[in-house]
Amino acid sequence: MADGYSISKEQREANKKRITELLLSTKRPGMERLVEWITTKTDFFSAPASTKYHLCCEGGLAQHSLHVYQRLSEKVAQGLIKIEPDTVIITSLLHDLCKVNFYVKEIKNVKEGTKINQYGKEVANWVEKEVWGIKDSFPVGHGEKSCCYIQNFIRLKSEEYAMIRLHMGPDKNTYPDPFSETAKIFPSVVAIFTSDIESAYILEERQ
């Protein structure tokens, strides 16, 4: 796979155990079926978090989800915002459930520096590499898809739905912006949005 950051098999297993325990601890009706689906029918614990940016490696999605859980938990612990413990777990660990069964491995020509050709000229050096690509079989939107998958198994509270649906932040192409309008009702959408970008841009390896 791509050069750079990687997550060991041992760490991936530890992440799987931690996420499973946290989700089941909520005792939300239907959660056992949701965890079973995630574990047996999806690649949640082996998928990357992105194709080429943050944690684009096996196990990246689960690692990113835990990072968001940690950041959101810290905001609550610091008294910055009040969110129920179960809501913190469900929204942070499942906000990117839309990415399961979404990434595929592909062979592509990738530019790696330059080389001197037969005429003595410097040209791009193209090599075949295995990279992550996307195969979206259910293109209904990012947060929307996560909510859809989750609600096949458990019932989300209004605040939880809003947090997951809007965790990507403001939509500059929409007026009035649903993120800003919803944040007036549920400030927690701001908390999960900042936790998400802090994890992706600060905590996690970028290539």
CA dihedral over 46, 62, 197, 144, signed as positive or negative: positive
Residue 52 · residue 2 · CB < 8 Å: yes
147 vs 120: CA distance, rounded Å: 56
Assess whether pLDDT exceeds 80 at residue 3: no
Assess whether pLDDT exceeds 70 at residue 205: no
Report pLDDT digits (tens) over 182-200.
999 999 999 999 999 999 9
Give Dmax over CA atoms of the chain in angstroms.
Answer: 69
Element (H, E) at 191: helix 188-198
Report pLDDT digits (tens) over 13-65.
999 999 999 999 999 999 999 999 999 999 999 999 998 878 989 999 999 99
Report pLDDT digits (tens) over 163-174.
999 999 987 776
Percent of the chain whose pLDDT exceeds 70? 96
Element (H, E) at 2: none
Report pLDDT digits (tens) over 94-112.
999 999 999 988 787 777 8
Give the E-state strand segments of 67-200 in sequence order.
103-116, 122-134
pTM of the model: 0.87
